[in-house]
Chains A and B, each alone.
Chain A
Amino acid sequence: MAKKAIGPVRRTFTPWEDSTATPFIEFQNVTKRFGDFTAVDNLSLKIYEREFFALLGGSGCGKTTMMRMLAGFETPTEGSILIDGQDMHGVPPYKRPANMMFQSYALFPHMSVEANIAFGLKQDRMSKADIAARVTEMLRLTKLEAFGKRKPHQLSGGQRQRVALARALAKKPKVLLLDEPLGALDRKLREETQFELMNIQEELKTTFLIVTHDQEEAMTVADRIAVMDAGKIMQCATPSEIYETPNSKFVADFIGDINLIEARVVSKSEDGTIMDAPRIGCRIDSSQTTTVSVGDTVWYAMRPEKVRIELGETETPEINQVGAEVWDIAYLGDVSIFHSRVGEAEETSLRSTIANVTRLVERPLTWEDRVTLSWGRDAGVILSK
């Protein structure tokens, strides 16, 4: 999974670490119920100016609902939403400083591309010349110069997506809301568009809030990600923090591929934690200090690329090291994932990756090879149950 640079390595931009910074968007204990179903559950969130923020979660976890409350199409049942310090309660959608790019694009079918983009500007009673200039600028930004006169039904999916983006950006909103903006595009176009989105955000310095269920997409574009589940935020952090130090089994499992090992804390000190993992038959030594008490069961979560795999089995299991047998290999092009069965009786397996640095003529390892799996003291994270 860790195929790309994790998160945009763009700038040193970390307003969320500054406790004096004022958030630009703030959800304060927001709850949204539909009947007796709670779609968003007592959720608080701060998003800062110029941030590219991603809401990531499975289908039905309440992402669109969050977006719609921010845009003004739904009213929170409890709590309040602030944009730029102003409480949005009772402010209708057409007066909010946010523009939304709809999941379905919602382009006006009876208007040309230009008219679609100009629509919001006309509502502001801008002069004709200014509107024309702005429309031209947006067409350039989204590389749609050649399609201004076309109707939406004469465009491809990717072009429609860009029209929707141009239309939402035309009014220079303080916040751009993107609801699964790339969901309908094929993979290659989606990846290209992700980088375009990042460039556009760099250029315009607008706050972007993107909703997605695609973790790779969130990792690629966002400064920070909030992982959601059942109307709650499970973790809100930078892509690398979420990837390297997930705070729960849910987040660890949701983002990328991970080995989750059940273990019992044997001893703990300033220097780290020692755990016993009977299922894989070895001891785990971690440099992480933990608040869990000795004797408690925890999950030790470790990314496959952190696990070394070597031919030949160790005689005796040692700390952070087990013998195993390769029983499945998945060739992914750039890396191969090895599923190795640890121990005899159980179906416990650990996954590890090897980068395919040479063209694969002969595999260094093959099925049923006896191997040794090992890892460092800071390979994984301890997650309390």
Chain B
Amino acid sequence: MSQTQTKPRRSLGAKALIAAPYLWLLVFFLAPFLIVLKISLSEVAVAMPPYVPTFDLASGWSAFVEKLSDLSFENYIWLTEDDLYWKSYISSVVIAGISTFITLLVGYPIAYGMARSPKAWRPTLLMLIILPFWTSFLIRVYAWIGILKNEGLLNQLLLWVGVIDQPLVILNTNTAVYIGIVYSYLPFLVLPLYASLEKLDDSLLEAAEDLGCPSWKAFWKITFPLSIPGMIAGCFLVFIPAVGEFVIPDLLGGSNTLMIGKTLWVEFFSNRDWPVSSAVAVLLLLLLVIPIVLFQNYQQKMQEKQA
């Protein structure tokens, strides 16, 4: 944006409209974040709430400033000392990364098939992709326990078909977590990818074929490169929430499945250490800020390119 331009005068109504999203962010994101940040700098205590110091708005400004000095970075130092935390962070990123990749492998053919299907079918197919959102996420993940457990549907089927003679141990392993994430986040990848594949002009493929390129090759030369923006958008939409995922590793993962969301939960509910879990949350946010900013930059660049 160029700064030298004189700012256009805006009416009060327009200002209010522009202010609305900022107000929203302030109330629902920044304020809670500041509270969490403050707790992360506090000390655990056997009290209600279980940390000190607590600020009391009634006691005035000087008391507030005085208590500020009680805050410390001790919890953050603690996080670096116990390797559970950074191992959880790394493991989360790895699991989210692998899951995103598998989601892409599964989602691409789905999105491609949808984009190539007859026009009349497309709304129905789109509906089917969105359909799972109509049931609770928790219940859907829970249902996977019934499918994946030793005497579950999957093992029963495989035993009956005769592919295996021992039930496969899938539940409570990382494999189950991958399955859970791929299943849950698939629509987030398919939708943007479908959007970019669908607007691809058929005549480009015909032109490629006309110039001596068989259709399978035209896919790699034309369709694939032109779907990269949709692929990147979809991957971010899967990766970012998957890093902080708690429900899936908790329900489907095993005791050795390390994910930061789970570590945080244990810290918060089992150890009742609010300050440390807040510190974990703040670091998780910082960790995710990097891909989010990358994603934002990328989207902006794409929009500028299209303009």
Q: Indicate whether A110 sits within 8 Å of B226 (C-beta atoms), given known contacts A94-B214, A102-B203, A104-B201.
A: yes
Bound complex: CA of A104 vs CA of B204, how far in Å? 9
The answer for the CA separation of A104 and B201 in the assembled complex, in Å, is: 10
Number of residues on chain A facing chain B (CB within 8 A): 25
B206 touches A106 (CB 8 A): yes
Q: Which of A99, A106, A153, A168 contacts B203 (CB 8 A)?
A: A106
Q: Is the CB of B206 within 8 A of A124?
A: no
CB proximity of A162 to chain B, nearest CB, Å: 15
Q: How large is the interface on B (under 10, 10 to 19, 20 to 34, 35 or more residues)?
A: 10 to 19
Inter-chain CA distance A92–B208, complex, in Å, is: 12
Quote the shortest CB–CB distance from A374 to chain B (angstroms).
53
Q: Are B225 and A93 in contact (CB under 8 A)?
A: no
Q: Are A102 and B212 in contact (CB under 8 A)?
A: no
Query: Once the chains bind, are A92 and B210 in contact (CB under 8 Å)?
Result: no
- CB neighbours (8 Å) of A98 from chain B are 210
Q: Which residues of B contact A102 (CB under 8 A)?
A: 203, 206-207
Measured in the bound complex, the distance between the Cα atoms of B216 and A123 in whole Å is 13
Asked if A123 and B212 make an inter-chain contact with CB atoms under 8 angstroms apart, the answer reads: yes
Q: When the two chains form their complex, are residues A99 and B210 in contact, meaning their CB atoms are under 8 A apart?
A: yes
C-alpha gap A290/B210 in the complex (Å): 47
Mask, A142-171, CB within 8 Å of B = 1, is 000000000001000000000000011001
Q: How far is the CB of B282 from chain A (nearest CB, A)?
A: 40
Determine the residue in chain B with the shortest Cβ distance to A100: B210
Question: Residue A108 at the B interface, CB < 8 A?
Answer: yes
- Is there a chain B Cβ closer than 8 Å to A109's Cβ? yes
Contact with B along A77-102 (1 / 0, CB 8 A): 00000000000000011110011101
For residue A68, give the distance in angstroms from its CB to the closest CB of chain B: 8
Chain B residues with CB under 8 A of A100: 206-207, 210
CA–CA, A109 and B213, complex, Å: 17
Tell me the smallest distance from the CB of B223 to a CB of chain A, in Å: 11
Alpha-carbon distance A130/B156, docked complex (angstroms):
62
In the complex, the answer to whether A171 meets B206 with C-beta atoms within 8 Å is: no
CB contacts (< 8 Å) of B225 on chain A: these are 110
- Chain A CB within 8 A of B302 CB: no
Bound-complex Cα distance A104 to B206 (A): 12
Cα(A93)–Cα(B210), bound, Å: 5
Q: Classify the secondary structure of B's interface with A.
A: helix
Q: Indicate if the CB atoms of B212 and A171 lie closer than 8 Å.
A: yes
Q: Which residues of A contact B209 (CB under 8 A)?
A: 72-73, 92-94
Give chain A residues whose Cβ lies under 8 Å from the Cβ of B63: none
The verdict on A94 contacting B212 (CB below 8 Å), with A108-B222, A109-B226, A110-B225 known, is: yes
Q: Is the CB of A92 within 8 A of B211?
A: no
Alpha-carbon distance A108/B223, docked complex (angstroms): 10
Q: Which residues of A contact B201 (CB under 8 A)?
A: 104, 106
CB-contacts of B191-229 with A (<8 A)? 201, 203-204, 206-214, 217, 221-222, 225-226
Shortest B220–chain A CB gap in Å is 12
Residues facing B in A120-137 (CB within 8 A) are 120, 123-124
When distances are taken between beta carbons in the complex, the residues of chain B under 8 Å from A99 are 210-211
A211 proximal to B (CB < 8 A)? no
Q: How far is A278 from B160 in the complex, measured between Cα atoms in Å?
A: 94
Report the bound CA distance from A106 to B222 in whole Å. 11
Query: In this assembly, does A71 line the interface, its C-beta being within 8 Å of a C-beta of chain B?
Result: yes
Residues of chain B within 8 A of A106, CB atoms compared: 201, 203-204, 206-207
Chain B hits for A124, CB < 8 A: 212
Within 8 A of A (CB), among B37-80: none
Q: Is the CB of A94 within 8 A of B210?
A: yes
A153–B222 alpha-carbon span in the complex (Å): 16
As a 0/1 sequence over residues 15 to 39 of chain B, the CB contacts with chain A under 8 angstroms (1 = contact) are 0000000000000000000000000
Q: A104-B201, A106-B201, A109-B226 are in contact. Are A167 and B211 (CB under 8 A)?
A: yes
Q: How far is the CA of A109 from the CA of B228 in the complex (A)?
A: 13
Q: Which residue of A lies closest to B214 (CB)?
A: A94
The answer to whether A123 and B203 touch across the interface, beta carbons within 8 angstroms, is no
Nearest CB of chain A from residue B168's CB, rounded to whole Å: 43
Q: In the docked arrangement, what's the CA distance between A104 and B200, Å? A: 13
Does A119 sit within 8 A of B, measured CB to CB? yes
Q: Closest CB of chain A to B305's CB: distance in Å?
A: 8
Q: Are B213 and A73 in contact (CB under 8 A)?
A: no
B307 CB, nearest partner CB in chain A, Å: 10
Q: Are B203 and A104 in contact (CB under 8 A)?
A: yes
Report A-chain residues with C-beta under 8 Å of the C-beta of B212: 94-95, 120, 123-124, 171
Report the Cα distance A102→B209, complex, angstroms.
Answer: 12
Give the contacts of B210-267 with A (CB-CB under 8 A): 210-214, 217, 221-222, 225-226
- A150 to chain B minimum Cβ distance, whole angstroms, is 13
A321 to B208, CA, bound (A): 61
Complex CA distance for A100 and B205, rounded to whole angstroms: 13
**A72, A108, A120, A153: which contacts B204 (Cβ < 8 A)?**
A108
Minimum CB–CB distance from A333 to chain B (whole Å) comes to: 38
Residues in A with CB closer than 8 Å to B207 are 100, 102, 106-108, 167
Q: 8 A-B residue contacts at CB 8 Å?
A: A73-B209, A102-B207, A104-B203, A106-B203, A108-B207, A167-B207, A168-B210, A168-B211
Residues of B within 8 A of A (CB): 201, 203-204, 206-214, 217, 221-222, 225-226, 305
For the complex with contacts A99-B210, A110-B226, 12 further pairs of A-B residues with Cβ separation under 8 Å are A92-B209, A93-B210, A94-B211, A100-B207, A106-B203, A106-B204, A106-B206, A108-B204, A119-B211, A123-B211, A167-B207, A167-B211
A-B residue pairs, 8 tightest by C-beta: A120-B211, A123-B212, A106-B207, A106-B203, A93-B209, A94-B212, A100-B210, A110-B225
